[in-house]
Structures are given as C-alpha cells and as structure tokens.
Amino acid sequence: MKTCFILGASGGIGQAIAKKLAGSGYGLILHYQTNHEAIDQLCKNLPDGSVLQTVQGDLRQEASVLNMLDQIAFSVDALVVASGTSLVKLFQDVTVNEMNDVLAIHVKSPWLISQKLLPDMIKKRSGHIILISSIWGEVGASCEVVYSSVKGAQDSFVKSLAKEVGRSGVHVNGIRPGFIRTSMNNQLSDEELIDIEEDIPLGRLGEPGDIANTVHFLVGSGASYIQGEIINVNGAWNG
C-alpha cells in the first residue's frame, strides 16, 4: 500500500483528494489545523483501513509543524499540499501578522515538510510532491496581493525543486485551480456566483473532484514524464 500525506485534508479540496486516493488503494495520513470535526466525518466516509493516521499541526507555527512531522509513523510516498487560507483586502490594509501567517502557511510550511520527507523519497528513488496552487499565482488578483504572491512562490518552488530532484526519481508538480466551489468562496453571493459562472468558458464552476482527479492522474504511472509542471484546472477561466 502506498501512503499519501494530505495537508489540509479537512478542506473541501483535501477531502475530495482523500476520497479519490483512498478509492485507489492509498493509505492516508490526514492533516488538519483546527477542524477536527471535519476530519472525524471524513474518516467515517473513507474505506476501512485507508486512514493510517490523523495529525494536527498549526502551519503558521514552525514548532507546531516540526512537532507534527515527528509524529508521522509511516513512510510517505506522496505529499499533497492542499492547505491554505485566502486573504481578501486592500494591500495597504494588510497587517504584518497577516503577511507572516499567509507566508508561513503557503510557503514556509511546505518547505519544511518537503525538506523532511525528501530524504526517504530519494532513498527509495520514488515519490511525489504536489502543491495545490491557484490561478492567482499566475495572473494575480486585485485585493488578494499577498495570497497571489505566495501562490506564485509555490509555483516557483515546484519548478525549482523538480529540476533538483528529478534524477532522484521524485516527481514534483502543481495544480492551479480556477474557481472551485468550496467554503473559501462562501462570502460570495448567489448573484456573484452566477456572474463568475457566466465568465467561465466551460460554462460551470469547478468542483473539488476536478482537482482530486488531477492529483490522481499526477501520482499515476501515466504522468511519469510530467515534471515541474503546474497544471491549470480552470475551465479556461483566467480571472
């Protein structure tokens, strides 16, 4: 049984990824930051024996991340970084604490976790690291300057690390979701959702399952020559 460590498994995209990979025979290590209830419910909805471990970690705090990593009791074949938080406000109103939190969650914690897991992957000459980035990392978004910036950093991390570890058998790729129907977008009104849907060339909003399907493809043998890529999953919408 291969093992996948999913960061942010309590979120809509993380849950969809967990269900997809569990259905393909993966053993799962599920991370959550605060939403223990969502993880409990997710575990009830997954096949028996597929959840190897659940771990809590505050990705804003280095000590919490390192403590979480010390608790991992299994060799990890795939790391999927689906954790994240949005920050919608004018750039000049963003506080230093907000900057630090967003930077830690989206950039520093993936660095620390990938760095910890890489030696075993390199030793096995096999592994996957997949970051769930955002369309805004490529094109940017007004009133989401900090969020767009860290998503751009994730994209650069994917491209750089992929070149560094490719000959070691470790695959590093990313996914840029467009508009996905998750709780992160709950602040939008029905009218705003309709407007966005009309702007999407494919004619519908994205679903968490669209991202989960792409993760499933990337960890499979059919993606063995894909390295250092960030796949846009956006229905041809660019914001």
Active centre residues (catalytic)? 147
Backbone angles phi, psi at 175, to 5 degrees: -130, 130
Cβ neighbours for 147, distance < 8 A, ≥ 6 positions apart = 86, 87, 88, 102, 106, 134, 136, 141
Of 206, 203, 194, 195, nearest to 232 by C-alpha is 206
Exposure class string for 81-103: b at 16+ Cβ within 10 A, else e = bbbbbebeeeeeeeeeeeeebbb
Contact 98, 87 (CB under 8 A): yes
